[in-house]
Amino acid sequence: MSAIAVDVGARYVRIAHIGPHGTAELVGLPGAVPGEGLPAPAEPGGTHRTTALRAAYTAYRDAHGVPDQVVLVVPQRDRAEHARRGADTLTALHGTGRAPRFRALGTPHAVLALLRHTGTVTAGRYAVCDLGATEARVAVCAVTPGTVAVTGDARQAPADGYAAGFDAALLLSAGLPAEEAQRQALAAVREADGAALRLDVMLTQAQSHPDRYHDLAVHQVAGREITAGAVLRALARLTTCLDQVLDEASDDQPRGAAVVVGGAARFLPLVRHLTERQGESVALPAGVDPALAAVYGAALVAAGRIDPADRYPYAVCVGTHRTVAGRPRDEELLLSAAGALEPGGATVFAEADGQRVRLRTGPEGTAAGRPVRVRVRDTAGRRTAPVQTLLLPDGGEGDRFHVGVRVAVDGTARLVLQPLGTGAPSEYPLGSLPTDLKEVRS
């Protein structure tokens, strides 16, 4: 089976798979920048994710054929919209021909899949800090043996970009335009052997003795000098923004250990600031570039090497009515156990003793239908949260249904009534199910 993962960034589109040695690696494609991926096509106003995805996937298909499985890495926030657009884009490219199976995976789940695969993270809380060109994102995650639940999520997207704004400030300090050629030249200087460590030492000296070291040249780009003082001033933009995102994401809950990924995570002074504030960060597997952590984790998921644990972490229940000894009784029926629902997966139906439960929707002739309450419960069953109360249409005296629930690729849930025998199922939207333990109350 050929399976790939795709991560569309602001500057590069990265496509990864499991290589011949059993580890995740970037797929070789014409025009790709080594260690980075395919440059994303720029459009007026910035890079358009759909255009970049279409171009990169077409390049892959031309070189390697149609894959069996595609996992698309999407931002945690607005992931439903990104997932829908991604699915529509890939489907349209195939027309009536064979299309791959498709699923979307949020960045924090992709990153934690990589770390869970290597046993680096276990049960506990983690703050996945995704520091990219355009924005800084932090997702606070609760990891259990079966699920990874995102309990807090925040982002800051400065008008001139996050890491991109940092680069622009450095170039402008040297009197250089913040254009692509200069950005690439700055990146090449940073990536030279030993450059990151030397810069870290110089900035430490400049912080300790600003009068002696602030004017020290730490980079030379296109014959112009960038000083330690300029780097420290630009760094303050990054750290201030990151601190705001950390505070917003955590709110009143513990953040846990930090996992730092994204292109800006290559910048040691920024990672050191995070470590000083948050404590020691979780180390990525040896040799993994932080900019590639998400797409490598998604490649492991695409190849079936690890379950992403992004199934819904709570049980879903529906209120029912029974008549016992001639008296009505309200009960609660378990539709889906905790961890059984997978976004984009099959409908999970209520069962008893291994058989699907048969229900009717209500007494015949009920004008407005019977109200049905849907709730979620934690694994201990002590805390619950309402989802929605639906009015289901009445059915005939002999009409019976199997009742279930499914979660679409975009994360929204549906209550499903499947008639016994023949007949199409009916679906009733439930919206997004609660995902934050803070929202689940007794």
Q: How much is the pLDDT for 173?
A: 92
User: Which listed CATH number (3.30.420.40, 3.20.20.10, 3.30.830.10, 3.40.50.300) goes with 1-120+288-310?
Assistant: 3.30.420.40
For residue 166, give both structure tokens.
């940092």
Residue with tokens 């992004």: 310
What does the pLDDT average to over 141-169? 86
What does the pLDDT average to over 359-376? 69
- Does the domain at residues 121-282 carry the CATH identifier 2.70.150.10? no
Label residue 142 exposed, middle or buried (CB < 10 Å: 0-12, 13-18, 19+): buried
More reliable by pLDDT, 342 or 214: 214
For residue 241, give both structure tokens.
């923004």
**Does position 304 have pLDDT exceeding 60, yes or no?**
yes
CA angle 13, 14, 20 (to 5 degrees): 155
Q: How much is the pLDDT for 126?
A: 92
Q: How would residue 282 be classed by pLDDT, with cut points 50, 70 and 90?
A: very high
**Does position 442 have pLDDT exceeding 50, yes or no?**
no
What does the pLDDT average to over 335-351? 85
pLDDT in tens, 182-240: 988 898 888 887 788 888 888 888 888 888 878 888 888 888 999 989 999 999 999 99
For residue 277, give both structure tokens.
């504030």
Q: How much is the pLDDT for 409?
A: 63
Residue with tokens 């849930």: 413
Domains 1-120+288-310 and 121-282 share a fold: yes
The answer for residues whose C-beta is within 8 angstroms of residue 323's C-beta and 6 or more apart is 329
Between β-strands 384-392 and 370-377, what pairing exists: parallel, antiparallel or unpaired?
Answer: antiparallel
> What residue spans define the domains of the chain?
1-120+288-310, 121-282, 315-439
- The alpha helices in 251-373, defined as continuous H runs, are 268-278, 293-302
Report the alpha-carbon distance of residue 187 to residue 255 in Å, rounded. Answer: 32
pLDDT in tens, 88-133: 888 889 888 888 988 899 999 999 999 999 999 888 889 999 999 9
Nearest Cα to Cα of residue 201 among 132, 272, 249, 152: 272
Can you spell out the DSSP letters for 89-117?
Answer: HHHHHHTTS---EEEEEEHHHHHHHHHHH
Q: What percent of the chain has pLDDT over 70?
A: 89
Q: Is 341 helix (H, G, I), strand (E, B) or coil?
A: coil
Q: How would residue 15 be classed by pLDDT, with cut points 50, 70 and 90?
A: very high
Distances (CA, A) of 224 to 170, 195, 227, 230: 11, 17, 10, 13
* Least confident stretch, 260-264, 331-335, 342-346: 342-346
More reliable by pLDDT, 325 or 282: 282
